[in-house]
Structure 1
């Protein structure tokens, strides 16, 4: 299972560990993904999504339907 946010498409990024001596070795930056259930009142249904913690904050601010609509426009969700 890929480490990708279901609503925003955030995924693993690649960067470097940089030592005090300025040696660089490859590393990965993983998104803070959480499995979370959301209630959609328009459909009277619960849906389980794997979303980043920052996406949960956005949902709390804007509402689940607004975030789902934007995700559909950007092509991350087939809803």
Structure 2
């Protein structure tokens, strides 16, 4: 499965490790993904999604209504 948030679409970004001598080597910054089982009241069932911690905080603040819209529109595949 890809390292991508199912809600926000955030994925890995690239950058450099920079040594004290200023030598640069390529590296990847991975998002903080968590697999979470969330009760969606609108769908009356649990949904397992992979999302970033910032998206999880946004869902906690705004509710699961937006998540239900994404699932019913087919933008998020759920098990």
For residues 78 and 36 of structure 1, the distance between their equivalents in structure 2, rounded to whole angstroms, comes to 14
Match of 1:77 in 2: 76
For residues 41 and 4 of structure 2, the distance between their equivalents in structure 1, rounded to whole angstroms, comes to 26
Matched-pair contact (CA < 8 Å) for 1:13–1:30? yes
What is the TM-score when the length of structure 1 is the normalising length?
Answer: 0.83
SS state of the match for residue 65, structure 2?
helix
- CA shift, 1:43, in A, is 1.6
Alignment of 1:10-21 (within 5 A): 10-21=10-21
Uncovered stretches (5+) of structure 2, i.e. residues with no partner? none
- CA shift, 1:66, in A, is 2.7
The aligned length equals: 76
Alignment of 1:58-69 (within 5 A): 58-69=58-69
How big is the alpha-carbon RMSD for the aligned residues of Structure 1 and Structure 2?
2.1
For residues 76 and 36 of structure 1, the distance between their equivalents in structure 2, rounded to whole angstroms, comes to 17
- CA shift, 1:77, in A, is 3.0
